[in-house]
Amino acid sequence: MMKKVLQPLYSILILVVLGVASLLPASLRGEEADLKATRSEFQKIPIWVMGFSPVQRDAGLSEHMQSQVASVLKADLTRSQIFSVAELPPAKGEFSENKCMSLSSTLAQNYQKVTVSTWGRIGVGGTSTGVQGLILDACAFDPGQQDVLTGKRYFSLKTTETLIRLMAHRWADELVYRYTGEQGIARTKIAFVGQKDNGRELFVMDYDGYDPQQVTADGYLNLMPTWAPDRKTLIYTAYRDRKQQIMRRELATGREEVLVPPTSLNITASFTPDGKSITYAAAQDGNSDIYQIELDSRSVKQLTSHNSADLSPSWSPDGRHLAFTSDRGGRPQIYIMDADGSNVRRLTYDGDYNAAPAWSPKGDLIVYVCRIPNEGFKLCRISPNGEQRKQITNGQSIDDSPSWAPNGRHIVFSSIRKGQSQLYIITSEGAGLEKISLAGEHLSSPSWSPFQP
Amino acid sequence: MRPVIHLISLLGILGLSLAGITGCGEKRIHVSTVSGTPGEETSSSASATDTSGLLATSVEESPLTGQTSLPAEAQADAVQPVAPVEPLQVAQEPSMPAYTDESFMKEPLSEIPSEVDFAPAVVEDTGSLEPSTNGKDILSQSSSSTMNGLPRDEAEASPFSAQAAFQDDLSSPQVGMEPVRESFQVAKAEPSDILRQQLDKIKEEELATASAGLEDVFFQFDSWSLTAEAKDSLERDLAWLTTSPASQLVIEGHADQRGTQAYNMVLGKRRAMAIRDYLSQLGVDPSRLFVISYGKDKPFCQDTTEVCYQLNRRGHLLVQN
């Protein structure tokens, strides 16, 4: 009986610790954030994805579509680095009427190996049900507490594979949130550049590589997309008449406008954290400098003015500092300056090539491309005070364009391996390397979207 | 808002769990660890039921204001055991993600297509979106409403009626129903006439360049200084420039695939400018010369061989008329 009391207590204590850590402002919780990010295999929460059985109602749900729920969910949970999906056989969880039932004791042998079990059922509604599309019922059971943790019903208007995946993503995010208090990334998007005929066009896909949609169709070069904080628009560099300009495109409508008129160099545009301005690198005749344009007034200010290349500005989430690449010391290195361009200080000293910094949305780390002898161009990360430097990708490859997931845990990047440029994700600790691009050639410049609004 | 709830939930949980060890062993403690998922549920509650009646805590959150209110007696219960925890203040930290109820409720609901009978009111009637003091309310609210205008009994007759939801009782502390739809839309990409014209023009320029016989210029790795061979090439190109004084040149700078895309863009620009500067020294009017960089994004070849790398580290002269 003592055991029975203590078991839930432990999990509660863990949650309290996690919860308190997440309440601290980012600047105070470097250590804790690091601990959370480095959740090693034994710290992960074991979960049993028992299965999602079909409901025999109206036809319209293929076996393939039905199987998507469990496979998408398992991939999401594994990718989260929060859960480890237990290798246990599928099993049928119970419902009574419309209620998730506590798991029967016949399953105890298996479910006691995990911290949480999840099951559900999926079907297609009919005219009698009031729902025309999919319905996914999902349950989570906590064996420690011998109790149903939560039940959710997701329903849609249509029956498509995209919607099935979306429902599974929502359930994964639900579980991640319940166990960490952090928003899950399973419904985020990734913008990137892909080869199409002779041009390079922008695309947007799900965070797991599914459903790539073409955004531009210029037949020419569109490069370096980044997201607006509201997730509705992309800004990018487009070539027009042998010049580069910075464009903004609203995804839903396709409406485009020129933000920075064409010159010989207009690159690495990114939004300020408040979404009101864009920072970018530009040059007419000289070396590139970093500029900022306010979107409403279109007033431009110059942040750097140095006889060297300054580029790739990336804001700290509090909007007080920018990291950028500069070769003012002879070789490209990462520097940090204040928001008004003052107080420039060098951040990286290891190696002779460090570039393309990306400041974590949590504020605690900056990831960048570092040249490592005998390996090539890898990803490294460092804290804004120059500590905790760590190489996070390894092996022979040319890695580029790191971009943080909004959870501040995952990073997407392009990598040329064996001549193929594809997109990968990894955590800031170097865990969970996964190729996420499923098709296409010469993929580059991935940019991870903010959370869904 | 979320951190507040979060903390309060945790305080409540801690309080309960402390109470749990100190003598209410058989008492059934019912804890929803973190209530709701951002973007999915607007009503968050940490509820606890103890059959002994010794302790009852509930947190209410109004979906309209996002304010969290804790009943006074619950506050006393919940806060006491963990009084030393400092971060209470920090919970107000504005840098935490703002999961406002507004963004949860209004956005998704207003986006439900109007031709479908999902009146917003219906969704508001689901337990997950209503302020509720306990699970019973969720049940009664959903029972008293109709989904899609169907009579209630018909809807409830089906195990898949969206409205019936999971009946709430002690074994399912959190009940949520959510409409799911593809809210993310990307307008179909259509090539425009202007862009077709631009592509046609580029083809013309390439043809003109080929007939002019201008030589490309090649660079060493990571360098933009002109080699002796490069200068020889430019001096031969000068002959054509002198005999075609009306023509203008675009000088493209390119890089191989090693290094970052952004820094290689700068490198390509420097290569193009080195060529322009040398041609100016040779007497070409700089106003005839334009520079552009393609970095590593318009390679001559795609192989990962030294030969291909060299071919891509180039300056390309393009006749523009």
Question: What residues are paired with A193 via a beta bridge?
Answer: A202, A444
Percent helix, strand, coil in chain B, to 5, is 45, 10, 45
What are the backbone dihedrals phi and psi of residue A250, each rounded to the nearest 5 degrees, phi first? -85, 125
Sign of CA dihedral B74, B79, B81, B87: positive
Contact A25 B95 (CB under 8 A): yes
Given this model, what pLDDT does residue A86 score?
Answer: 94
Q: Tokens 């990360």 map to which residue?
A: A381
DSSP one-letter code for B65: T
Q: Rounded distance, CA A163 to CA A76, Å?
A: 15
Contact A151 B172 (CB under 8 A): yes
Name every chain A residue with its beta carbon within 8 A of the beta carbon of B162.
125, 129-131, 135, 153, 155
Say if CB B181 and CB A163 are below 8 A apart.
yes
Q: Is A51 helix (H, G, I), strand (E, B) or coil?
A: strand
Name every chain B residue with its beta carbon within 8 A of the beta carbon of A157.
112-113, 116, 118, 179, 181
Rg for chain B, CA atoms, rounded:
35
Say if CB A122 and CB A135 are below 8 A apart.
yes
Sheet with A300-302, edge to edge strand ranges: A265-271, A277-283, A289-294, A300-302
Probe site for chain B from A45, A68, A153 (most B CB atoms < 10 A)? A153
Say if CB B137 and CB B130 are below 8 A apart.
yes
User: Within a 10 A sphere around the Cβ of A255, how many other Cβ atoms?
Assistant: 11
Q: Rounded distance, CA B135 to CA A99, Å?
A: 13
DSSP one-letter code for A408: S
DSSP one-letter code for A221: B
A positions 374-433 inside 8 Å of B (CB): 376-377, 398, 400-401, 416, 418-419, 421
Min CA distance, A87 vs chain B (Å)?
25
List, in order, residues 6 or more apart from A431 with CB less than 8 Å away.
Answer: A81
B positions 8-37 inside 8 Å of A (CB): 9-10, 13-14, 17, 20-21, 25, 29-34, 36-37
Residue B310 has pLDDT above 70, yes or no: yes
Name every chain B residue with its beta carbon within 8 A of the beta carbon of A369.
260
- Among A353-357, B89-93, B204-208, B254-258, name the one with the lowest average pLDDT: B89-93
> In chain B, which residue's Cα lies nearest the Cα of A139?
B172
DSSP one-letter code for B285: -
- Please report, for residues A187, A232, B185, B187, B287, the alpha-carbon distance to residue A254 in angstroms, rounded to integers and kept in the order given: 22, 11, 10, 5, 37
Q: Rounded distance, CA A326 to CA A335, Å?
A: 7
Name every chain A residue with its beta carbon within 8 A of the beta carbon of B206.
none
Sign of CA dihedral B117, B122, B126, B131: positive
Closest CB to B263: pick one of A15, A200, A355. Answer: A355
Asked if the C-beta of A110 comes within 8 angstroms of chain B's C-beta atoms, the answer is: no
Name every chain A residue with its beta carbon within 8 A of the beta carbon of B13.
12, 15-16
Q: Rounded distance, CA A389 to CA A328, Å?
A: 22
Alpha-helix residue ranges (DSSP H) falling in A296-364: none
Given this model, what pLDDT does residue A299 score?
Answer: 96
- Model confidence pLDDT, tens digit, residues B151-185: 333 333 334 444 443 333 323 333 477 788 777 88
Q: Rounded distance, CA B58 to CA B30, Å?
A: 11
Name every chain B residue with its beta carbon within 8 A of the beta carbon of A353.
259
Tell the burial category of B248 from Cβ atoms under 10 Å away from its Cβ (0-12, 13-18, 19+).
middle
Instruction: Give me the residues of chain A with pLDDT under 50, please.
Output: 1-38
Min CA distance, B239 vs chain A (Å)?
24
Average pLDDT, chain B: 58
Asked if the C-beta of B43 comes within 8 angstroms of chain A's C-beta atoms, the answer is: no
Name every chain A residue with its beta carbon within 8 A of the beta carbon of B91.
23
Residue length, chain A?
Answer: 453
Min CA distance, A345 vs chain B (Å)?
19
Given this model, what pLDDT does residue A380 score?
Answer: 98
Residue B45 has pLDDT above 50, yes or no: no
Rg for chain A, CA atoms, rounded:
24
Q: Rounded distance, CA B291 to CA B252, Å?
A: 6
Sign of CA dihedral A127, A132, A134, A140: negative
Residue B53 has pLDDT above 60, yes or no: no
What are the backbone dihedrals phi and psi of residue B187, each rounded to the nearest 5 degrees, phi first? -65, 140
- Could you please report the per-residue DSSP string of B202-241? HHHHHHHHHHHTPPPEE--TT--SPPHHHHHHHHHHHHHH
Q: Tokens 């930290």 map to which residue?
A: B93
Q: Rounded distance, CA B252 to CA B317, Å?
A: 6
What are the backbone dihedrals phi and psi of residue A173, each rounded to the nearest 5 degrees, phi first? -65, -35
Given this model, what pLDDT does residue B180 score?
Answer: 81
Tokens at residue B40, please?
A: 């999915």
Question: What residues are paired with A22 via a beta bridge?
Answer: none
> In chain A, which residue's Cα lies nearest the Cα of B112?
A157
Say if CB B63 and CB B105 are below 8 A apart.
yes
- Please report, for residues A307, A437, B221, B266, the alpha-carbon distance to residue B294 in angstroms, rounded to integers and kept in the order given: 21, 24, 16, 9
User: Helix (H) and strand (E) counts for chain A?
Assistant: 5, 31
Given this model, what pLDDT does residue A134 score?
Answer: 85
Q: Rounded distance, CA A359 to CA A297, Å?
A: 27
- Could you please report the per-residue DSSP string of B100-115? -HHHHHHHHHHTS-TT
Given this model, what pLDDT does residue B60 score?
Answer: 29
Asked if the C-beta of B161 comes within 8 angstroms of chain A's C-beta atoms, the answer is: yes
Contact A129 B257 (CB under 8 A): no
DSSP one-letter code for A382: E
Asked if the C-beta of A353 comes within 8 angstroms of chain B's C-beta atoms, the answer is: yes
Residue B194 pLDDT grade (very low, low, confident, very high; cuts 50, 70, 90): confident
DSSP one-letter code for A120: E
What are the backbone dihedrals phi and psi of residue A394, each rounded to the nearest 5 degrees, phi first? -135, 165
Residue B230 has pLDDT above 60, yes or no: yes
- Please report, for residues A190, B90, B210, B243, the alpha-carbon distance to residue B82 in angstroms, rounded to integers and kept in the order given: 42, 15, 79, 87
Given this model, what pLDDT does residue A248 score?
Answer: 96
- Model confidence pLDDT, tens digit, residues A231-275: 999 999 999 888 999 999 999 999 999 999 999 999 999 999 999
Residue B302 pLDDT grade (very low, low, confident, very high; cuts 50, 70, 90): confident
> In chain B, which residue's Cα lies nearest the Cα of A188?
B184
Identify which of B307, A245, A15 has the alpha carbon closest to the alpha carbon of residue A236.
A245
Amino acid code (one letter) for B82: V
Q: What angle do CA A267, A399, B304 make, to 5 degrees?
A: 100
- Model confidence pLDDT, tens digit, residues B237-295: 999 999 988 899 999 999 999 999 999 999 999 999 999 999 999 999 999 999 999 99
- Could you please report the per-residue DSSP string of B264-279? HHHHHHHHHHHHHHHH
Amino acid code (one letter) for B142: S
Q: At what angle do helices B72-79 and B2-21 cross, to 10 degrees?
A: 70
Asked if the C-beta of B164 comes within 8 angstroms of chain A's C-beta atoms, the answer is: yes
Sign of CA dihedral B21, B23, B25, B27: negative
Q: Rounded distance, CA A281 to CA A283, Å?
A: 7
Identify which of B207, B277, B284 has the alpha carbon closest to the alpha carbon of residue B239.
B284
Contact B39 A452 (CB under 8 A): yes
Given this model, what pLDDT does residue A58 score?
Answer: 52
Identify which of A208, A219, A191, A56 has the alpha carbon closest to the alpha carbon of residue A124.
A56
Say if CB A72 and CB A66 are below 8 A apart.
no
